Amino acid sequence: MAQMTMIQAITDAMRTELKNDENVLVFGEDVGKNGGVFRATEGLQKEFGEERVFDTPLAESGIGGLAIGLSLTGWRPVMEIQFFGFLFEVMDSVSGQAARQSFRTAGKRNAPITIRSPFGGGVATPEMHADSLEGLVAAQPGIKVVIPSTPYDAKGLLISAIQDENPVVFLEHMKLYRSFRQEVPEEEYTIPLGKADIKREGTDVTIIAYGAMVQESLKAAEALEKEGHSAEVIDLRTIQPLDVETIIASVEKTNRAIVVQEAQRQAGIAANVVAEIMERAVLSLEAPVLRVTAPDTVYPYAQGENTWLPNAADITETAKKVLNF
Amino acid sequence: MAAKKNTQFDPVNTLHEIEEKFEMFQILNEDGKIVNEEADPKMSDEELTELMERMVYTRILDQRSIALNRQGRLGFYAPTAGQEASQLASHYALEKDDFILPGYRDVPQLIFHGLPLHMAFLWSRGHYLGSDLADDLNIFPPQIIIGAQYVQAAGIALGLQKRGKKSVVMTYTGDGGTSQGDFYEGINFAGAYRSPAIFVVQNNQYAISTPRSVQTAAKTLAQKGLAAGIPSILVDGMDPLAVYAATKDARERAVNGEGPTLIETMCYRYGPHTMAGDDPTRYRTSDIDSEWEKKDPIVRFRTYLEGKKLWSEEQENAVIERAKQEIKDAIKQADQAPKQKVTDFLKIMYKGDMPYNVQEQFDIYTEKESK
C-alpha cells in the first residue's frame, strides 16, 4: 500500500495496464515527454517508449478518429481530451462514432476505447475548462461514463475502464487531483463499472452524489449529524449505467433522498436518478426527491465560482428541507 | 493608392505557381488512346479485362439499384454511374489485407473487397445484418458523417504501421467533404505520423446541388494536400488506367514507410445525389451532362480494350447477364433476412455483459416478442 493522490493513482492505473496489455496505447496533446498538463502521464513515455505513449497534433476530433481507427486494428486506446470543455470538437467521434461502433457493425467490431478527461470547478480555470458535460455523453447509448471521487476508486475504476470492451468516458475532477491522499494498493485491482459505493452509512436521508460533490456531501453529512440527522452518502462512481439497486435499497431504508451534482440543474444526470427513484420506490418516499445543482447559467467567470458552485451548505439546507417536509 | 509591390515575396504569384503544378494526370484519353505511354501501369491482359468486368458490373448494379429503389425494394441509395473508374480502378490497386473506409457512395468498392451483395442490399434497406461483417473483411460500413472516415483512416493507418503490417487503408470522400474539418485533420494526422493511408477525393463536381466552386477558392482539391505536407495528385477520374496507376503508386510509397497520399479524381455522377428526392435538373444543365457523358470511363476503356482484342460485345453481355442474375439472387437472399427485433438491437449494443438498463429492457422486449 502507498499513500497516493488521485492523480498518482490514475498514473499508476495507466502504468499497470500499459504493463499488462501490450495493446494499450496512451495518447493525446502533451501526454508524452511532458507527462500531461496535470502530470497524469508522468514518466509513462520514458518507461514504455514513444510507440506506446505519444503526443498528437492539436485536434480533438482527430484524436477521437485516431482512437477509433486504432481500435479497429486491435489496439486498446486510452486517449486524453485535455479539458472536457473541448468535448464539442470531438463529439462526433465519441457519441456519433465510438459509442455506435458495436451497434453499426452488428456487434462484429467493438471500440475498447477509454476517453480520459479532466473537468470540474473550484480551481479558477479559464473559460471552457471546468464545465460539467457528463450529461451529454451519458445520454448517448453505447457509452459508459465513470467519475471517481477518491484515489482508491480512481485506480480500480480506470483499470476496469481500460479493460472494458466498450467505450468508457473517464472524467477526472481537477479539484480532486491533489486535494487529499489515500491508501492505494500497488498491485492491480478492479472496481466493477456500474457499481455505486456507500461512502457513509445512515438511516434518515440518502444523499446521492458524484465527483467533487461526494466530499461536499460527506461534509454536509457531518453537519447534519451534529443536528441529530443520520445521512447515508452514496457515491455513484459510474453515472451511466446507474447502480439502481444500491440507490433503491438505500431509499427504501431511509425513505428520503436528495441528488447532488455540480452541473447546472438542466444538465448533469440528477434528473435521471430522481426518475429512477420515482419509478421504483415512490411508495417508500416520505418526501419528494430534491436536487442540489448549479444554476442554469453558463459556467461562471472564475471569480464567480464560489457563489455559483454547489457546496456542503447547499446540501445541508436541501437535506433539511427533505427531512422537515 | 495602389498597394506597394513587395519584391521579396509575391503571394499571388506564389499561389498561381503552385496551382499550375497540379496538372491533370491522364493515361487514357476520351477516345480510348494511350496519351501517356510512360505512365502506363502495364496491367496484364487478365487484369485489364477483370477491371472492365467490374466496371460494367457496377454500371448494371447502379441501373438495377435505381430501379429496385423506385420499386421500393431498396432503401437509401446513392447512385454511382460515372464513377466506375474512380471507385473500381482505385480499389483494384489494393490488396486483400488493406482496409477500406468508405463514404456512403462507396458501396461498389466494398462489394469487390468481399462484402456479399445481399448484405449491401440489406445495408441499403436499413437492416443490421447488412453490417454483420466477417472477421477478416477489412472494411467498415459506409460512413454517413462526411469526413469522419478520414480521421478514422488516420487511426487505422497508424494501427497498421504500429503492427509493422505491409498494408494500407484507403478512404473516400467527395468534393464537398473537403470543406470539413475532419477532412483536414485526417490528412494532417496521417502526415504527421507518416502512416500508410490513401485519401481519395472523388470530385464529382457537385455536393448535392452545390457546385464545387462554392466549396473553396482553391483551383484544385488535390492541392489541399499541401496543407498537410503530403504528396497529392489530380487524376482524370474517368480514366481507369490513370486512377489505377496513381493509387498503385500511392500504395507502394505507403507500404514503404513514405506516408500518405491525397488523390483527387476528377469525375462525375450521372445520376442524382441520392434516390431520396434529389432532382439534378434543378442545378445541372443537359449541356454539362452530355459533356461528361463523352468522358464515360466505360466507353473509353471499352474502345481501348477492343483495340487490344481483349473485349467483345459477347463478353460485355455475359457480364451484364451475370450481374443481373446475381442481383436478382441477392435481392431474394436479402428478402429472406429475418425481421429485426428490439432484442436484436439490444444484443449488439455492448460487447460483454449488458448494462442493467439494457438487460432490463431486453427482458421486457423478450416477453413482448414471445407473444
Reported as a single tens digit per residue, the pLDDT across B127-137 is: 999 999 999 99
Surface-to-core class of residue A55, CB atoms within 10 Å of its CB (0-12 exposed, 13-18 middle, 19+ buried): middle
Q: What is the pLDDT of residues B47-61, one digit of tens each?
A: 999 999 999 999 999
Q: Which of B153, B351, B357 sits opposite A241 (nearest CB)?
A: B357
Per-residue pLDDT, A312: 98
Q: Cell numbers for B135, please give them.
A: 472477421
Confidence class of residue B8 from pLDDT cuts 50, 70 and 90? confident
The stretches of chain B forming alpha helices (DSSP H) are 11-21, 45-70, 84, 90-92, 107-113, 117-125, 148-163, 181-192, 212-215, 225-228, 240-255, 286-293, 297-307, 313-335, 342-347, 356-370
B98 touches chain A (CB under 8 A): no
Beta partners for B235? B25, B265
A106/B128 CB distance under 8 A: yes
Q: How far is B357 from chain A (nearest CA, A)?
A: 7
Rounded distance, CA A119 to CA A309, Å?
Answer: 14
pLDDT of B9? 84
Contact in structure between B203 and B179 (CB atoms under 8 Å): no
pLDDT recorded at residue B6: 60
Quick one: residue B309, left, alpha or beta (phi over 0 = left, psi -120 to 50 = alpha)? left
Nearest residue of B to residue A141, measured between CA atoms: B349
Kindly indicate the confidence band of residue A71, based on its pLDDT and cuts at 50, 70 and 90: very high
Q: Which residues in chain A are closer than 8 Å to B356, comparing Cβ atoms? A: 194, 241-245
SS3 at position A194: coil
Which of A69, A106, A245 shows the shortest C-beta gap to B155?
A69
* DSSP labels, B47-107: HHHHHHHHHHHHHHHHHHHHHHHHTTS--S----TT-HIIIIIHHHT--TTSEEE-BTT-H
**Contact between chains at B160 and A107 (C-beta distance less than 8 A):** no
Angle between helices A213-226 and A312-323 (to 10 degrees): 50
**Chain B: closest CA distance from residue A83 (Å):** 19
Question: d(Cα B207, Cα B98) in Å, to the nearest integer?
Answer: 28
Residue of B nearest to A74 (CA): B159
How does strand B210-211 pair with strand B206-207? antiparallel
CB contacts, 8 Å: B355 with chain A: 144, 194, 240-241
Closest CA to B87 of B206, B235, B225: B235
Mean pLDDT of chain B: 96
- Tens-place pLDDT, residues A168-206: 999 999 999 999 999 999 999 999 999 999 999 999 999
Per the annotation, the verdict on B105 as an active-site residue is no
User: What residues pair up with A291 in beta bridges, in sequence order?
Assistant: A259
CA B206 to chain centre: 15
Residue A1: per-residue pLDDT: 81
Name the grid cell of B224.
Answer: 489541399
In the structure, what pLDDT confidence band is assigned to residue A234 with cuts at 50, 70 and 90?
Answer: very high
B282 is catalytic: no
Taking CA atoms, B235 is separated from B177, B207, B244, B310, in Å, by 18, 19, 10, 25
| Interface residue B119 vs chain A (CB under 8 A) | no
From A111, which residue of chain B is nearest by alpha-carbon distance? B351
In this structure, which amino acid lies at residue B227?
Answer: A
* Count of Cβ atoms closer than 10 Å to residue B368 Cβ: 11
User: Cβ distance A278 to A248 under 8 Å?
Assistant: no
- A118-138: pLDDT as tens digits: 999 999 999 999 999 999 999
Are B290 and B256 spatial neighbours (Cβ–Cβ below 8 Å)? no
Cβ contact (<8 Å) for A106 and B355? no
What is the model's pLDDT at position B7? Answer: 66
pTM of the model: 0.97
Å between A193 CA and nearest CA of chain B: 9
Residue A151: cis peptide before it, omega within 30 degrees of 0: no
Catalytic pick among B273, B284, B300, B302: B273
Return the bridge partners of B171, or none: B101, B199
Record: contact B189-A56, CB cut-off 8 A: yes
CB contact under 8 A, B159 and A142: no
- How many whole angstroms separate alpha carbon A44 and alpha carbon A26? 9
Mean pLDDT across the stretch A95-115?
A: 98
Sheet of strand A290-294, all strands in order from the earlier edge strand to the far edge? A197-200, A231-235, A205-209, A257-264, A290-294
Instruction: pLDDT band for B4, please (50, 70, 90 cuts).
Output: low
- Closest Cα partner for A280 from A242, A249, A237, A258? A249
The mean pLDDT of B147-171, rounded to a whole number, is 98
| Mean pLDDT confidence for A271-282 | 98
State the count of interchain CB pairs (< 8 A) between A and B: 143
Q: How confident is the model at residue A19 (pLDDT cuts 50, 70, 90)?
A: very high
Q: Are the C-beta atoms of A212 and A176 separated by less than 8 Å?
A: yes
Position of cell 484519353?
B29
3-state secondary structure of B263: strand
- State the average pLDDT for chain A: 98
* pLDDT above 60 for B1: no
Mean pLDDT of A55-73: 98
For helices B45-70 and B313-335, what crossing angle results, to 10°? 50
Render pLDDT for B310-345 as a digit per residue (tens, 0 to 9): 999 999 999 999 999 999 999 999 999 999 999 999
The Cβ-side half-sphere exposure at A105, using a 13 Å CA radius, reads: 25
Task: Please name the member of A68, A240, A245 whose beta carbon is closest to the beta carbon of B152.
Answer: A68
The β-bridge partners of B224 are none
The vertex-B17 CA angle with B15 and B22, nearest 5°, equals 95
Spatial distance between the Cα atoms of B311 and B299, rounded to a whole number of angstroms = 12
Q: CB–CB of B246/B28 below 8 Å? A: no
Q: What is the CB neighbour count within 10 angstroms for residue B126?
A: 10
- B122 Cβ under 8 Å from any chain A Cβ: no
| Cell numbers representing residue A276 in the block | 429512477
**Contact residues for B310 (Cβ-Cβ < 8 A; gap 6+):** B45, B48, B49, B52
pLDDT at A319: 98
Q: What is the pLDDT of residue B2?
A: 58
